[in-house]
Amino acid sequence: MKPAILLVEPMMDAIERDLDAAYTVHRLYDAAQQSRIQADLGTIRAAVTGGGTGLSAEWVARLPALGLIAINGVGTDKVDLAETARRGIHVSTTPGVLTGDVADMAMALLLAVMRRIVDGDRMVRDGRWAAGGQLPLGSRLGGRKLAILGLGQIGRAIARRAEAFDAEILYWNRSPVETPSGWTCIDTPERLAAEADILVVAVAATPQTESIVSAAVLDALGPNGILVNVARGNVVDEAALLSALQQAQIAAAGLDVFRNEPTIDPAFARLDNVVLAPHQGSATVSTREDMGALVLANLADHFAGRTPRTSVNADRIQETHSA
Ligand code: 8YV
């Protein structure tokens, strides 16, 4: 009999076909499967989910045979890492393969904001250009100070891309990191924002980074400043961000992530100075294929009795269980 797994959110068709071939897949997002899932809770040995979705503590508690949560992404913020380690449940992610795409998304949002790409598209379609309309001038990226909050793999990839656009790179990171020459380290998020023309948020969501982009950081970014967020909604004080955008305390924002996805605060849609994206940083065919392949490999490891190859908590499980 095929082992049973829980699929929390849809994946690309080709990956779901591979999952179906190897496992009995219970689809949590499919209303028609709910009673079967309830009846089979005790048989489910792995869950597959997205980084932005994770698996709630309630669901972890309902699954007594759970041994792996395979995240199709890199964020572990929506999974209780202490409880999973206590129960010996591995949590795996898909490191490396989505770095470039998320960095590309940050640059795409930034250029869309600075060069008014979305407004221009609307103007051409609406016939306002043909009718003699003029798009307000945009702003130049070259020569601007681009600050990166969180210099992990994705932050670094953004910095490399921004350098190619002739931006000057500043960054803040929680711990000291080696960088190429010419990147300037700033010691607090607030001072980073004060120095920057553009603040790109690429920091991992942890209890320490909750609302790290605070009202004070936005105030420091100032009326000409642009915010881009490709990390997580909850690293930004969203009420402060909305107010800063409404009052023109910052100039504009490009946002791929929000606090309450997908039903985001409707106030965002009423703003002219934002470009909004539906959490699509890693959403390319090639990257989703690579992410799916890693999810499948981790599942295969787990069901073969091996440590899942990109488990993020293997050490913690070992410590917890040898203590
Ligand atoms: C999602 C992400 O995983 O990597 C992450 O943590 O948030 C994304 O890449 C993706 O949306 C799939 O659900």
pLDDT tens-digit map of 241-250: 999 999 999 9
The finding on whether 54 has its CB within 6 A of some atom of ligand 1 is no
Asked if residue 77 lies in contact with residue 53, where contact means CB atoms within 8 angstroms, the answer is no
CA 186 to chain centre: 23
Mean pLDDT, the chain, rounded, equals 98
> Does any ligand 1 atom lie closer than 6 A to the CB of residue 292?
no
Distance 102 CA to ligand 1 centre (A): 10
Choosing from 29, 69, 74 the residue with most ligand 1 atoms within 8 A of its CB, the one to mutate for a pocket test is 74
Q: Is 98 in the pocket of ligand 1 (CB under 6 A)?
A: yes
The predicted pLDDT at position 323 comes to 67
Q: Is 154 in the pocket of ligand 1 (CB under 6 A)?
A: no
* 282, 275 contact by CB (below 8 A): no
What would the two tokens of residue 317 be? 């499980």
Choose among 49, 46, 11: nearest CA to 303: 46
Distance CA 182, CA 185 (A): 10
Q: Which residues pair with 72 in a beta bridge?
A: 50
Q: Is the CB of 279 under 6 A from ligand 1?
A: yes
Q: Can you read off the two tokens belonging to residue 92?
A: 């795996």
pLDDT at 289: 98
What confidence tens digit (pLDDT) does each residue in 65-106 have? Answer: 999 999 999 999 999 999 999 999 999 999 999 999 999 999
CA 265 to ligand 1 centroid distance, Å = 20
Ligand 1 centre from 316 Cα, in Å? 23
306: helix, strand or coil: coil
- Interval between CA 286 and ligand 1 midpoint (Å): 14
Closest-CA residue, ligand 1 atom 2, reads: 51
Q: Over 70: is that where the pLDDT of 179 sits?
A: yes
What percentage of the chain carries pLDDT values higher than 70?
100
| pLDDT category of residue 226 using cuts at 50, 70 and 90 | very high
Whether residue 150 has its Cβ less than 6 Å from ligand 1: no
- Could you tell me the pLDDT band of residue 266, with boundaries at 50, 70 and 90? very high
Q: Is the pLDDT of residue 58 over 70?
A: yes
77 Cα nearest atom in ligand 1: 6
Position 261, amino acid: E
Ligand 1 atom at shortest distance from the alpha carbon of 288: 12
The catalytic residue positions are 232, 261, 279
Judge if the beta carbon of residue 233 lies within 6 A of ligand 1.
no
Segment 275-280 long-range contacts (CB within 8 Å, at least 24 positions apart): 275/109, 275/112, 275/113, 275/117, 275/118, 277/105, 277/109, 279/52, 280/105, 280/256
